Amino acid sequence: MKILVGIKRVVDHNIRVRPNADGTDVDTSTTKMSINPFDEHAVEEAVRLKEAGIASEIVAVTIGTTQHQDVLRHALAMGADRAILVESDTQLASLATAKVLHALVQQEQPQVVMLGKQAIDDDAAEVGQMLAALWNVSQGTFASKLVFAGEKLTVTREIDAGQETLELTLPAVITADLRLNEPRYLKLPNLMQAKKKPLATLALADLGVDTTSKLKRLSVEEPPARAPGIRVANVQELLEKLRTEARVLS
């Protein structure tokens, strides 16, 4: 079973992002970048499936410039067999990304495509669902547990009311939740070995995909500052303010 894992390069989750000077995007000129955390869980699960003898090959894919090779090397160090960089100078919208992945699916013919449930830069949580629709296959989103049995896949997924269990027929698209696993710590030998693994580069134009965005970003700005709180002398004053100012009590 071949697994295709889509990953994204994002601002490191420990870094606070700020808009650039003209308010058109987030300033990443001097910001630490890393693999999207949810995508790292997707890679980890794929590697565990290979270690268990369920998967035979893992192909990591990302879209971006030459700088984006670092997240592919990260995935290779974790245990992916090879990587593909689809070169693009612009960040693609969710639908365009799904179209690119669909084109790669036609080339690679994987049985499973795994992604993080969302990217922490836009929190859209759309690509996996869109890819499943374009590919016309089943999907298991927000997955916290996977059990493979032949051509069947049982997915336990996180929902607002708790958990839901689905039985899917392969091929399928899976999006990983943080509860799916705990990504491994990368050791230096693994990082060195990753440099020797194959990393192919494809031009976006060669895939024949229309990536024209239907969305236009108007501006990027920080959220308004939170108003300071107030102190009350007693419970009676608190209740009065809840009635008159917050209007949560009648």
Half-sphere exposure of 237 (CA within 13 A, CB side): 5
Alpha helices, DSSP H only, in the chain?
A: 37-51, 69-78, 94-108, 127-135, 188-194, 235-244
Token pair of 208, please? 């024949």
Beta bridge partners of 174: 114, 140
Nearest to 48 by CA among 80, 73, 82, 84: 80
What is d(CA 185, CA 191) in angstroms, rounded to the nearest whole number? 11
Assess whether the previous peptide bond of 37 is cis (omega < 30° from 0): no
Q: What is the pLDDT of residues 2-56, one digit of tens each?
A: 999 999 999 888 888 888 888 878 877 778 889 999 999 999 999 999 999 999 9
Q: What is the pLDDT of residues 179-206, one digit of tens each?
A: 999 999 988 888 888 888 999 999 998 9
What is d(CA 80, CA 72) in angstroms, rounded to the nearest whole number? 9
- For the entire predicted model, the pTM comes to 0.85
Does residue 90 surpass a pLDDT of 90? no
Domain coordinates in residue numbering, the chain: 2-244
**Secondary-structure breakdown of the chain: helix, strand, coil percentages, each rounded to the nearest 5:** 30, 30, 40
Q: Which of 15-19, 58-62, 118-122 has the highest mean pLDDT?
A: 58-62
Q: Which residues contact 243 (CB under 8 A, 6 or more apart)?
A: 249, 250
Query: Candidates 3.40.50.620, 1.10.8.590, 1.20.140.10, 3.40.309.10; correct CATH number of 2-244?
Result: 3.40.50.620
Measured CA to CA in angstroms, residue 209 lies from 97, 103, 171 at distances of 10, 7, 22
pLDDT at 14: 84
pLDDT bucket at 250, cuts 50 / 70 / 90: low
pLDDT at 28: 76
What is d(CA 46, CA 189) in angstroms, rounded to the nearest whole number? 20
What's the mean pLDDT when you consider all of the chain? 90
pLDDT at 216: 82
pLDDT bucket at 80, cuts 50 / 70 / 90: very high
What is d(CA 34, CA 49) in angstroms, rounded to the nearest whole number? 24
